[in-house]
């Protein structure tokens, strides 16, 4: 009897892959459509390159998941409006359930003047660039001597770590909207850049913001100790860049020179209002300017708008009235017109909640989404569609489609390159190179 496909997963990052694994244990066969050639998503292209143990461990897990005969992989396929496939087309083919787990591929901006100037980047651009994700791998990223990063989370720390390793970078300025007690980076991430922080400037900055912190019941001494007690445990960077922290500062305008290049960032001073553990920033109306030639926004992510799902703020909208809740949460995509569940369409990972945690959160979300899909498939009679029909569909595309056997050829080619190079440097820079290695060029 022909194999019946009951679930299609869009995206092969942690949420999608762990969901696929769970679904196979529940007896389902799954097809995965992935935009990128390689699986892994943010685990492959978002984790800092030198975190070899973490990345290699995840790659082994993902490769093991993909060995399942019940999981069928199709890479280099974009899903969405005016693309190779749409969600309605997948459903119309007879696949009963679609899980959207393609992450948050949009770009989040503040909407201030000057964001289109040369030298302005989103953290995603930089992270994908140094992690060698096509086409970001070959995108020109022109980092100057004096860089400003807007944001104070773990992504900021990774970007700052990369920047201070660049020989031309002299100063990296971190601008946070709120104060030291509200930073989002962990001690572990701080430990990767602590060696580069200018502590004389940091102490002066704490002296400046201490009265504002005390006014809302916070303890500046405790927050400063967080920095002072953090140990540096990474390999020292080859660069000489120094890091400066600026708290209670909100960007209002990026300034450009006559050539259209960034030359400064205009910021508004803030104060804190609220309780010690529940503060918000309020602008004071007073401004100051940081001279800079590069601005990088590390302010979180949002989903992209062309997948064919309704978007609410930064996420694909999940219904508030789920038919199949798991742990009290909704994993069901909302119908654009009614807001009620779109039958058969589910969400997981950053597609459901953008920038919400790392691999552990994505795994849990994928497992919960799989449980919701299982409830749905048990609610009716869903015959599914044969794998032969799916394979025939993708075989008609006028571009190469990557299957599991092709991936093994790519993995072997990268393994051989890694024998004489850093494992991350063994990655191919372009899709064309990867397709050629796999014998898929046309």
Q: Cα separation of 245 and 287, whole Å?
A: 17
The CATH number covering residue 272 comes to: 3.50.50.60
Q: Cα separation of 110 and 265, whole Å?
A: 13
CB 52 within 8 A of CB 62: no
CB 75 within 8 A of CB 401: yes
pLDDT above 90: residue 249: yes
The CATH number covering residue 370 comes to: 3.40.50.720
Same domain, yes or no: 12 and 138: no
Same domain, yes or no: 315 and 415: yes
Angle between helices 14-25 and 52-66 (to 10 degrees): 40
Average pLDDT for residues 157-186, to the nearest whole number?
97
Return the pLDDT at 47: 92
Same domain, yes or no: 227 and 90: no
Same domain, yes or no: 343 and 288: no
pLDDT above 90: residue 424: no
Q: Is the dihedral of CA 132, 138, 144, 146 positive or negative?
A: negative
DSSP letters, 251-299, are EEEEEE-TTSBEEEEEEEEEEEEEETTEEEEEEEEEEEEEE-SEEEE-S
- The neighbouring-strand residues paired with 291 are 264
Return the pLDDT at 441: 81
Return the pLDDT at 1: 47
pLDDT above 60: residue 236: no
Q: What is the pLDDT of residues 47-93, one digit of tens each?
A: 999 898 999 999 999 999 999 999 999 999 999 999 999 999 999 99
Q: Cα separation of 331 and 345, whole Å?
A: 9
Global pTM exceeds 0.85: yes
Same domain, yes or no: 128 and 273: yes
Asked if the structure places residue 110 within a domain, the reply is no
User: Residue with structure tokens 């400046």?
Assistant: 208
Q: Cα separation of 78 and 306, whole Å?
A: 11
Same domain, yes or no: 316 and 293: no
């Amino acid at each position: 009897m022909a194999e019946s496909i009951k679930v299609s997963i869009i995206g092969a990052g942690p949420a999608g892959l762990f969901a696929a694994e769970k679904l196979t244990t529940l007896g389902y066969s799954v097809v995965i459509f992935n935009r990128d050639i390689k699986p892994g998503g943010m685990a492959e292209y978002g984790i800092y390159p030198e975190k070899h143990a973490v990345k290699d461990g995840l790659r082994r897990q993902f490769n093991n998941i993909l060995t399942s005969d019940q999981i069928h992989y199709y890479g280099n396929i974009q899903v969405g409006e005016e693309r190779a496939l749409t969600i309605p087309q997948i459903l119309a083919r007879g696949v009963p359930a679609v899980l959207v787990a393609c992450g948050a591929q949009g770009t989040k901006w503040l909407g201030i003047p000057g964001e289109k100037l040369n030298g302005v980047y989103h953290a995603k651009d930089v992270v994908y660039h140094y992690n060698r994700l096509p086409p970001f791998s070959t995108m020109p990223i022109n980092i100057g001597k004096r860089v400003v990063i807007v944001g104070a989370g773990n992504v900021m720390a990774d970007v700052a770590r990369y920047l201070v390793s660049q020989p031309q970078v002299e100063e990296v300025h971190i601008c946070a909207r709120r104060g030291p007690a509200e930073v989002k980076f962990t001690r572990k991430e701080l430990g990767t850049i602590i060696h580069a922080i200018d502590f004389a400037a940091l102490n002066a900055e704490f002296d400046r913001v201490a009265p504002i912190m005390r006014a809302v019941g916070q303890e500046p001494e405790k927050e400063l100790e967080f920095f002072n007690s953090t140990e540096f445990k990474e390999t020292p960077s080859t660069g000489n860049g120094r890091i400066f922290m600026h708290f209670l500062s909100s960007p209002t305008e990026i300034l450009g020179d006559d050539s259209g290049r960034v030359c400064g960032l205009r910021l508004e001073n803030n104060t804190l209002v609220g309780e010690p553990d529940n503060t918000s920033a309020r602008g004071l109306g007073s401004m100051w300017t940081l001279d800079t030639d590069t601005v990088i926004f590390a302010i979180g992510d949002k989903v992209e708008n062309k997948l064919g799902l309704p978007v609410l703020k930064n996420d694909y909208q999940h219904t508030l009235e789920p038919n199949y809740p798991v742990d009290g949460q909704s994993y069901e995509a909302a119908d654009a017109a009614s807001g009620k569940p779109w039958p058969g369409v589910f969400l997981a990972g950053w597609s459901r909640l953008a920038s919400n945690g790392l691999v552990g959160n994505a795994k849990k979300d994928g497992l919960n989404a799989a449980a919701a899909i299982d409830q749905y498939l048990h609610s009716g009679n869903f015959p599914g569609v044969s794998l032969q029909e799916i394979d025939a569909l993708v075989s008609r595309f006028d571009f190469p489609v990557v299957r599991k056997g092709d991936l093994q050829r790519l993995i072997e080619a990268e393994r051989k390159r890694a024998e004489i190079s850093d494992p991350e440097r063994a990655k191919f820079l372009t899709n064309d190179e990867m397709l050629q290695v796999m014998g898929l060029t046309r």
